[in-house]
């Protein structure tokens, strides 16, 4: 391939990115998905301390589903406009890997809790295929011990509830992929169901990437292959990995070859993707309904109740605060964080309006940390603090009297003018006095004291 040939660039540009996303996020329930072990893998003091017969996959361990994890998964689906399956179940997904003590992962195959829905982005909506609930695997650390390459396993993460959000291949640019991920993280944090700590692996991104030729686009055909890039732990890396794949696959396609269907990892240091393993087909996973976990039948009234419990979503809060209070983007970005904080700020803003204070001034004070964001404090106390901060502060009477006495002694000419009826020199004395006592000082108090002393002279 001749790199100088300009037609190669032209051909690469003729491909359209076809990209679907798979996002995993750990739910922050108190206990694990199918057992009563502590769900707090990142802050465990030692490895393998949050385990029991169920999450270690010991014979006889009986999994029982965590009610809260299911409720949160369905609420996430409702927030994203999904349809909720009134009948649903858990399935076993079999594969052999040391991070899976049972030899299978409890997941959902053909009847996930949620289907459909969409995530809005500034580049257009990205439709969702499904949201399902599963258990996270054990954490593996690859190391070399005594010259031997080994994997070290910690089961504190095994069995942590994990939602998987699968999108349709609607993503058309690396930037849109990143925005999609950010919006999902925002919603999950807002609903307070997941921390989505990307560095720790609490939220993990995968992109299914392929390129569509102009001919395929004209015939409405999708590419005949897809490459899955896994284990991406930042939105910047996601953008880089997709850009890298677009380039790599374009070069392969330019030579007339179809890129291999495979799973690749992303190396952020080298900014390249690399082959991880040949993709297993669904048949290889030997999915089967988990006989240990009876299925679920939800009443429509239950789903309605959960829908009703959903808070106003962040996008809507931002529009409302922008329209009603004129809050700027910086303030909206910083203040719209979770439902609890929104409710608190709503009551703070309402009280501010009642007291004749512009809510956007309160917002600015919160943004520049002049006021503390603390939903524990009452709106009354927040506004009291604000008023104290902005009110003119009174000056110690004795100190003020001494200061003015000094000024008057230093400027006998001005005093003479005042006594001759040129009262405008009062402004001069005010300026001198304010410079000494500070601009926050109560100007009225200063003026009164100057006049009092001048009259006594």
Partner 1 sequence: MKRTDTQHIATLAHIPINNDQDKDLTAAFNETLETIKTLQEVKVGGVEPTHQVTGLENVYREDEVHKDTMFTQDQALKNAHRTYQGFIVVPRILEK
CA separation for the pair 21, 80 (Å, rounded): 15
In the list 5, 9, 13, 64, the residue contacting partner 1 (rule: CB under 8 A) is: 64
Q: Smallest distance, Å, CB 112 to Zn ion?
A: 24
Q: How far is CA 94 from CA 141, 285, 287, 439, in A?
A: 22, 5, 7, 73
Q: Note whether 272 binds partner 1 by CB under 8 A.
A: no
CA separation for the pair 259, 253 (Å, rounded): 7
Phi-psi region of 100 (alpha: psi -120 to 50; beta: other; left: phi over 0): beta
Q: Note whether 295 binds partner 1 by CB under 8 A.
A: yes
In the list 214, 221, 261, 297, the residue contacting partner 1 (rule: CB under 8 A) is: 297
Q: Note whether 51 binds partner 1 by CB under 8 A.
A: yes
In the list 289, 322, 339, 453, the residue contacting partner 1 (rule: CB under 8 A) is: 289
Contact between residue 448 and residue 441 where contact means Cβ atoms under 8 Å apart: no
Q: Note whether 276 binds partner 1 by CB under 8 A.
A: yes
Q: Smallest distance, Å, CB 155 to partner 1?
A: 7
Q: Which stretch binds partner 1 (CB under 8 A): 68-76, 240-248, 306-314, 423-431?
A: 68-76
Residues in binding contact with partner 1, number by CB under 8 A: 54
Angle CA(424)–CA(428)–CA(431) in degrees, nearest 5? 135
Contact between residue 85 and residue 282 where contact means Cβ atoms under 8 Å apart: no
**What is the token pair recorded at 197?**
């700590």
CA separation for the pair 229, 170 (Å, rounded): 16
User: H or E segment at 406?
Assistant: helix 397-410
In 10 A of CB 339, how many CB atoms?
17
- Residue of 14, 27, 22 whose CA lies nearest to 119: 22
Q: Smallest distance, Å, CB 159 to Zn ion?
A: 5
Q: Note whether 29 binds partner 1 by CB under 8 A.
A: yes
End-to-end CA distance of the chain: 98
For partner 1, the closer CB: 47 or 81: 47
Q: Which stretch binds partner 1 (CB under 8 A): 88-96, 344-352, 368-376, 424-432?
A: 88-96
For partner 1, the closer CB: 62 or 416: 62
Q: Smallest distance, Å, CB 46 to Zn ion?
A: 16
Contact between residue 217 and residue 191 where contact means Cβ atoms under 8 Å apart: no
Among Zn ion, partner 1, none, what binds residue 69 when CB lies within 5 to 8 Å by partner kind?
Answer: partner 1
Q: Note whether 274 binds partner 1 by CB under 8 A.
A: yes
Residues contacting 338, CB < 8 A, separation 6+: 189, 190, 191, 192
Q: Note whether 221 binds partner 1 by CB under 8 A.
A: no
For partner 1, the closer CB: 145 or 257: 145
Q: Which spans of this chain sit near Zn ion (rule: CB under 5 A)?
A: 35, 37, 52, 54-55
**What is the token pair recorded at 266?**
């992303």
CA separation for the pair 348, 281 (Å, rounded): 54
Footprint of partner 1 on residues 95-154 (CB under 8 A)?
95-98, 141-142, 145, 148-154
Q: Note whether 38 binds partner 1 by CB under 8 A.
A: yes
The residues of the shown chain that bind partner 1, judged by CB under 8 A, are 29-31, 35-39, 46-53, 56, 64-70, 89, 95-98, 141-142, 145, 148-155, 265, 274, 276-278, 280, 284, 289, 291, 293-297
């Amino acid at each position: 391939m001749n790199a100088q040939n300009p037609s190669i660039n032209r051909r690469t540009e003729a491909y359209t990115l076809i990209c679907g996303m798979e996002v995993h996020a750990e739910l922050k329930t108190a206990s694990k998905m199918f057992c009563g072990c502590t769900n707090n893998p990142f802050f465990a003091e030692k490895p393998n301390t949050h385990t029991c017969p169920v999450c270690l996959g010991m014979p006889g361990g009986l999994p029982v589903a965590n009610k809260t994890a299911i409720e949160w998964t369905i609420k996430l689906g409702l927030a994203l406009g999904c349809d909720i399956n009134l009948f649903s179940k858990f399935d076993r997904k079999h594969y052999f890997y040391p991070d899976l003590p049972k030899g299978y992962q409890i997941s959902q195959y053909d009847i996930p809790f949620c289907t459909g829905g969409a995530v809005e982005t500034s580049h257009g909506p990205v439709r969702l295929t499904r949201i399902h609930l599963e258990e996270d695997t054990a954490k593996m650390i690859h190391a070399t011990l005594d010259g031997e390459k080994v994997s070290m396993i910690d089961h504190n993460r095994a069995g942590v509830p994990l939602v998987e959000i699968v999108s349709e291949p609607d993503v058309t640019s690396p930037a849109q992929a990143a925005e999609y991920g950010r919006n999902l993280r925002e919603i999950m944090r807002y609903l307070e169901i997941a921390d989505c700590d990307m560095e720790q692996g609490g939220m993990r991104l995968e992109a299914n990437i392929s390129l569509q030729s102009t001919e395929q686009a004209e015939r409405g055909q999708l590419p005949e292959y897809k490459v899955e890039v896994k284990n991406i732990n930042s939105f910047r890396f996601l953008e880089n990995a997709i850009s890298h794949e677009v380039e790599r696959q374009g070069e392969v396609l330019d030579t007339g070859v179809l890129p291999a269907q495979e799973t690749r990892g992303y190396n952020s240091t080298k900014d390249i993707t690399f082959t991880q393993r040949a993709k297993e087909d669904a048949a290889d996973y030997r999915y089967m309904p988990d006989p240990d976990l009876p299925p679920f039948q939800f009443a429509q009234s239950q789903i309605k109740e959960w829908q009703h419990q959903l808070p106003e979503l962040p996008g809507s809060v931002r529009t409302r605060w922008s329209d009603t209070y004129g809050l700027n983007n910086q303030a909206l970005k910083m203040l719209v964080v979770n439902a609890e904080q929104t409710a608190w700020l709503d009551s703070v803003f309402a009280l501010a309006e009642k007291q004749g204070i512009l809510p956007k001034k309160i917002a600015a004070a919160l943004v520049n940390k002049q006021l503390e964001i603390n939903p524990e404090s009452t709106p009354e106390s927040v506004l009291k603090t604000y008023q104290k901060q902005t009110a003119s502060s009174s000056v110690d009477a004795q100190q003020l009297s001494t200061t003015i006495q000094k000024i008057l002694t230093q400027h006998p000419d001005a005093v003479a003018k005042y006594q001759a009826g040129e009262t405008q020199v009062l402004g001069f004395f005010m300026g001198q006095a304010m410079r000494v006592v500070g601009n926050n000082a109560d100007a009225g108090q200063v003026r009164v004291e100057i006049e009092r002393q001048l009259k006594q002279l």
